[in-house]
Structure 1
Amino acid sequence: MRCLIILAHPLETSYAASLAATAKAALEARGHDVDLLDLYREGFDPRLTPSERAGYFDVPYDVSAVAAEVARLQAAEALVLVFPQWWFNVPAILKGWFDRVLAPGVAFEHDKAGGRIVPRLANIRHLWVLTTTGSPWWVVKLYMGDPVRRLLKRGIANVCAPRCRFRMLTLHDMDRATPERLAAHLERVRGEMGQL
């Protein structure tokens, strides 16, 4: 299976980078073809341009400025997002990737009758999320309502790739995690990704 891993963290030595490397190794050990897109290292520009926004309802929508990223997404059967949660959200660079790459004609089509959109990511059979947050689980889930999970499952997976299998592994309370707990979480990721 062709797997696209999207890494969104500015530090090469981050725990997110370790998660991405662990996922990549586990998938490759199972014989999968893995493409790692490190948004910071590859210099991805997250800013939606004025022409991209102005042409949002054009058919066809112009994705030429992100054609390479679109091609990588369209070649994938599994999408693995790796990032820290900051302010109960995805990093800005990843949100920009959503805005620019999950575009009309790529991730969905506008419904000509208005309202709903028509999914286009039938190629994505699996959407996995590997993330961390500095907040305890109860703050994320009970107080905030798990906003990142809702965004990714309901707003992206269900809308753009409704037949995909969604899985999210989150390490909560990251700022107080011991080295043993960090290592155990990497092993959990290795084991679970090894089943994909």
Structure 2
Amino acid sequence: MRILLVLAHPLEDSFAASIAETARRTLTANGHTVDLLDLYREDFDPRLSESERARYFARDYDPAEAEPFVSRLKQADGIILVFPQWWFNFPAILKGFFDRVFVPGVAFENDPAGGRIRPRLGHIRLFWAFTTTGSPWWVVNLYMGNPVKRLLKRGIAAFCAKGLDFRMVNLHDMDRADEDKRRAHVARVEKRVGRI
């Protein structure tokens, strides 16, 4: 399987980077092809340009401004995202990745009559996310309703592909996580990725 592994964290030595490396190493050891897309190291521009937005609903949307990222998405059989949750949402660079790469003609088709959009990422069989949040479990799930999971599962994944394997694993209370808790999370990621 060819996995597009997307890392969204500005620090090269972040915990997110270690999770991405664990996933990359495990996938590669199991014979998968991994395309590591480190959005910060590759200087991805998250800003949707004026021209991109102006032609968003055109019949033949041209995603050329977001190449080669669009091509990398089209070549993937699965997507694994690694990112921290900030303010109960994606880092801005990851939100921009969705805005500029998951576009009409690539991730979905707009219904010209204004109805439902039609998924175009039928080749994607796996859509996973490994995240961290500074808030405890109860704040994320009970108080906030787990907005990131809802956006990923019900919005992006469901509108772009059908029947895929969606999973999200989150390390809660990251700001107070000691070394043992972090090691346990890395081991959990390695075990889950090892089953792919």
Shorter-chain TM-score bucket reads over 0.9
Runs ≥4 in structure 1, deviation > 3 angstroms? none
Alignment of 1:109 with 2:99, yes or no, is: no
Residue of structure 2 in register with 1:53 after alignment: 53
Residue of structure 2 in register with 1:20 after alignment: 20
Q: Secondary structure at the match of 1:139?
A: helix
Across the aligned residues of Structure 1 and Structure 2, the Cα RMSD in angstroms comes to 0.6
Output the CA distance in 1 between the equivalents of 2:29 and 2:187.
14
Output the CA distance in 2 between the equivalents of 1:172 and 1:188.
14
Farther-moved stretch of structure 1 (104-113 vs 139-148): 104-113
Farther-moved stretch of structure 1 (161-170 vs 144-153): 161-170
Q: Secondary structure at the match of 1:44?
A: coil
Farther-moved stretch of structure 1 (156-165 vs 125-134): 156-165
- In the alignment, structure 2 segments of 5+ residues that lack a partner are none
Residue of structure 2 in register with 1:95 after alignment: 95
Q: Secondary structure at the match of 2:68?
A: helix
Q: Secondary structure at the match of 1:57?
A: coil
Farther-moved stretch of structure 1 (160-169 vs 91-100): 160-169
| C-alpha displacement of 1:82 | 0.4
- In the alignment, structure 1 segments of 5+ residues that lack a partner are none
Residue of structure 1 in register with 2:148 after alignment: 148
Residue of structure 1 in register with 2:2 after alignment: 2
Output the CA distance in 1 between the equivalents of 2:64 and 2:195.
36
Give the TM-score normalised by the residue count of structure 2: 0.99
Number of residues of Structure 1 aligned to a counterpart in Structure 2: 196
Alignment of 1:176 with 2:176, yes or no, is: yes
Residue of structure 1 in register with 2:67 after alignment: 67
Output the CA distance in 1 between the equivalents of 2:157 and 2:56.
21
Q: Secondary structure at the match of 1:36?
A: strand
Output the CA distance in 1 between the equivalents of 2:168 and 2:160.
17
Output the CA distance in 1 between the equivalents of 2:51 and 2:61.
10
1:94-150 deviation per Cα after TM superposition (whole angstroms, max 9, x unaligned): 000000000000000001221210000001100000000000000000000000000
Task: Name the amino acid aligned to 1:176.
Answer: R
Give the TM-score normalised by the residue count of structure 1: 0.99
Task: Name the amino acid aligned to 2:6.
Answer: I
